[in-house]
Structure 1
Amino acid sequence: MTLTLSSPLSLYSIPIVWILAYHPQVIKGNLIKKTIGYDNVNARTNVKRVADSDKVSREVVARVQRAEGAHLNGLEALPMWGLGILAGNFAGLDHWTLNVVSLAFILTRFTYNQVYINYNTLGKGFFRSLVWAAGSLMPLYLVVKAANKLAAQ
């Protein structure tokens, strides 16, 4: 079987986007582990423990906090993404459209994570917001396109 952009692949984007939502969590955990040690018994206190520690540089604290923010944003984006893909498939949108939008969304989520975690300037924060906005419109586009197709039937 040859895979092309016309193959039914878009549903695979849902677990990929889930992985992208958790990738910042791995980065955050590794930073905490290297600095003060990860407390898996009280895992939700780790970011505060890092922030309160005198042993951790402000730069590392900020990176841990940005990784936490990227993780939470990924979790916030995931339901709407899943809804967009499921609605598009339910309505019978063409696979090419679903796949191209899926690839674009995956790229925006990857870029968003990288920019959010690694850059700490106002200009790059603005770029992060643009990437977020572009990505946020993609599942909405799929839902509206699916709704329009179903309304036309």
Structure 2
Amino acid sequence: MTLATAYWCVLIAAILPYVWIVIAKGSGPNYNNRNPRAWLAKQDGNYKVQRAHGAHLNAFEAFAPFAAGVVLAQLAGVDHGRIALLAVAFIVLRVLHGVLYVADVAMARSLVWLGGYLCVLALLALAALRITG
């Protein structure tokens, strides 16, 4: 794997929030594109919409630290294969996280979230260690 692989993973991570919001909007009745936030607020009983929206928000939250981790690891001179491996693992875990979120499998979702977070921490730690070591 190369650094290009990691960069493609950053692009995929940037797209993931929109995958989940498309699922949210497609899962509820009478979607209103003129006022989508008001429509979303009226989906109190539609748990699939709410869970897909939660996956959407969480994907946004995960993006910035992941992208920063990839860039910082590269700038620090971390092995490109290691960066790519962690990036691919992150993407696989984040896709699985969204699927589990929408499917309402809470414990597995949390464990998968933790795995993705550990990938981000590893990227950041490897960058810091490379610079200080």
For normalisation by structure 2, the TM-score amounts to 0.93
**Secondary structure in structure 1 of the residue aligned to 2:32:** coil
Aligned length: 133
Counterpart of 2:111 in structure 1 is 130
The residue identity in structure 1 corresponding to 2:102 is I
Which consecutive unaligned segments of at least 5 residues does structure 1 have? Answer: 52-57
Counterpart of 2:97 in structure 1 is 112
For normalisation by structure 1, the TM-score amounts to 0.82
**1:7-59 deviation line (CA, Å, top 9, x unaligned):** 54212211101112221101011112xx1x222221112222222xxxxxx4x
- Cα drift, residue 146 of structure 1: 0.5
Does residue 99 of structure 1 match 2:67?
Answer: no
What percent identity do the matched residue pairs reach? 32
Check the 8 A contact 1:108/1:135 in 2, yes or no: yes
Which consecutive unaligned segments of at least 5 residues does structure 2 have? Answer: none
Aligned partner (choices 33, 38, 45) of residue 31 of structure 2? 38
Does residue 16 of structure 1 match 2:1?
Answer: no
Question: 1:8 and 1:113 mapped to 2: Cα distance?
Answer: 24
* Moved segments of 4+, more than 4 Å: none
Q: Over alpha carbons, which structure has the higher Rg?
A: 1
Alpha-carbon RMSD: 1.3
Cα 1:88/1:7, change in 2 over 3 Å: closer
Question: 1:150 and 1:73 mapped to 2: Cα distance?
Answer: 30
**Secondary structure in structure 1 of the residue aligned to 2:89:** helix
**Secondary structure in structure 2 of the residue aligned to 1:9:** helix
Question: 2:107 and 2:86 mapped to 1: Cα distance?
Answer: 23
Check the 8 A contact 1:9/1:95 in 2, yes or no: no
Q: Which segment is superposed worse, 5-14 or 18-27?
A: 5-14
